[in-house]
Amino acid sequence: MITTLSALAAVCLLSLAFILIIPCFAATKIFMRFLPRDIREAAKTHPDPSLGRQIIGYLMTALAAAGYVGLLFFLGADGLRRGYGFWLLFGRFMLFLYGYKLFDILVQDQYIVITRKYYVKFYPETKGCKSWDDRSFNTKNQMIRLIAFPFVCALMAWVTLLIGR
């Protein structure tokens, strides 16, 4: 349990650092695709960072994704080392994914994006957009993930056992 919670804390910190830093490095079109339509429209004319900064942004994105996947592999390998069966691995992956999703919804989406309006600092042309106050802007995507997680976790547990034994 401590290992799973430590991995969860690590991925949350990695994700937090990433979302706070990436606006300085990402191309506007790529960064804005995660935000509502009116914000994307308002930011259309925002200049992209230099090519060098964008390359750094792509590298940071790749490192963050590798860190996330690496933690999942670590949790699976550690579970095998400890002799976990399907249900313990499944529970571990569920705790990890749902814990991260809770952090994503409450801290990243609701607090940083909506309450603090953090990205308005980087994209001032989006200041008057109504979606900055819409707490349900990402509900459909979040619900799809929340519904898919048990199936994803079952698949990850099964693949982990298949590979590890």
Distance CA 139, CA 6 (A): 27
Distance CA 45, CA 159 (A): 45
Distance CA 130, CA 9 (A): 32
* Helices and strands, number each (H, E), in the chain: 6, 0
Q: Indicate if the pLDDT at residue 150 is higher than 80.
A: yes
Which stretch, 10-14, 45-49, 130-134, has highest mean pLDDT? 10-14
For residue 131, the model assigns a pLDDT of 86
* pLDDT, tens only, 19-56: 999 989 988 888 888 888 888 889 888 999 999 999 99
pLDDT tens-digit series, residues 67-123: 999 999 999 999 999 999 999 999 999 999 999 999 999 999 999 988 999 999 999
Cα Rg for the chain, rounded, in angstroms? Answer: 18
What pLDDT, on the 0 to 100 scale, is given for residue 44? Answer: 87
Categorise residue 46: left if φ over 0, alpha if ψ from -120 to 50, beta otherwise.
Answer: beta
Q: Pick 126 or 165 by higher pLDDT.
A: 126
